[in-house]
Amino acid sequence: MRIYDETLKSRLMLGTARYPSPQILKQAILASGAEIVTVSLRREAAGERAGQKFWDLIRETGVKVLPNTAGCHSVREAVTTAQMAREVFRTNLVKLEVIGDADTLQPDLFGLVEATRILTEDGFQVLAYTTEDLVAADRLVEAGCRVLMPWGSPIGSARGLNNVYGLRAMRARFPDLTLLVDAGIGVPSHAAQAMELGYDGVLLSSAVALAGNPVTMARGFRLAVEAGRLAFEADPLQPRDMAEASTPVLGQALLGGAVFA
């Protein structure tokens, strides 16, 4: 999977919030096989004692950090947070969120495009949390974004892929762009479905962190993502309206008892 200049073996990204303990977070990261984890600058301050322990844990796993602008509701807030994150994390990569609705946490697409343009002109490599809206996607690409992250359903809802048609249309519109499904995935079958649509990867957070056993769930998602990608690459059988026999008629036994091979 290509994320700008990075080539990754894993197609699974993991959030780091709301885990029962730092040790379980570490075990879940390792079980998932993820090579990138997202971190909110608001939640982790590098200069604080608790923040230092968090960074020590992340370093032990060997993963890369993708800062995000989670919780930002305006262009100015998102841009400022991204600029601060670049100073703290020493990376131009940023997962850009500009939230427009407090109830659904739906992205503000107008603000997202504006913030993307500002940040790409400032040298950032933006991964945009968006919807499956194709017009907004076109504008984001025009603004310099090379990784789109459409939601499956609202953040934390665990409802899976609400608009499969829209996600399939986005994949068809941007065959050479890196696309990842972000938000709303609740169980491994949701992740497998996203991968079967041809998406390059998925980002998970609550589905693992809030599971009864986060480590086991992380491993389940790892296997589901791998299985879904293999299914896509294998060119799967397409659905049919009518039955089609899986056993050939040629060679069946006749009523007289004779068999013709």
Q: What angle do CA 210, 216, 219 make, to 5 degrees?
A: 110
Pairing state between β 12-15 and 36-40: parallel
Contact 150, 167 (CB under 8 A): yes
Q: Is 64 a catalytic residue?
A: no
Contact 76, 68 (CB under 8 A): no
Which residue out of 9, 26, 53, 95 is catalytically annotated?
95
Per-residue pLDDT reduced to its tens digit, 2-52: 999 989 999 999 999 999 999 999 999 999 999 999 998 765 554 444 567
- Residue 156 assigned ligand-binding role: yes
* Residues whose CB is less than 8 angstroms from the CB of residue 94 and which lie 6 or more positions away in sequence, other chains included: 66, 67, 68, 69, 82, 85, 86, 119, 124, 125, 126, 127
pLDDT of residue 183: 92
pLDDT of residue 136: 96
* Residues whose CB is less than 8 angstroms from the CB of residue 112 and which lie 6 or more positions away in sequence, other chains included: 96, 98, 128, 129, 130, 136, 140
- Residue 205 assigned ligand-binding role: yes
DSSP-H helix ranges across 122-205: 134-142, 164-173, 188-196
Q: Phi, psi at residue 27, to the nearest 5°?
A: -65, -40
- Residue 206 assigned ligand-binding role: yes
- Residue 183 assigned ligand-binding role: yes
pLDDT of residue 237: 86
Per-residue pLDDT reduced to its tens digit, 171-230: 999 999 999 999 999 999 999 999 999 999 999 999 999 999 999 999 999 999 999 999
**pTM for the whole thing?**
0.88
* Residues whose CB is less than 8 angstroms from the CB of residue 158 and which lie 6 or more positions away in sequence, other chains included: 184, 185, 186, 187, 206, 207
DSSP-H helix ranges across 155-201: 164-173, 188-196
Contact 152, 160 (CB under 8 A): yes
Mean pLDDT of 93-116: 94
Per-residue pLDDT reduced to its tens digit, 130-188: 999 999 999 999 999 999 999 999 999 999 999 999 999 999 999 999 999 999 999 99
User: H or E stretch including 111?
Assistant: helix 109-121
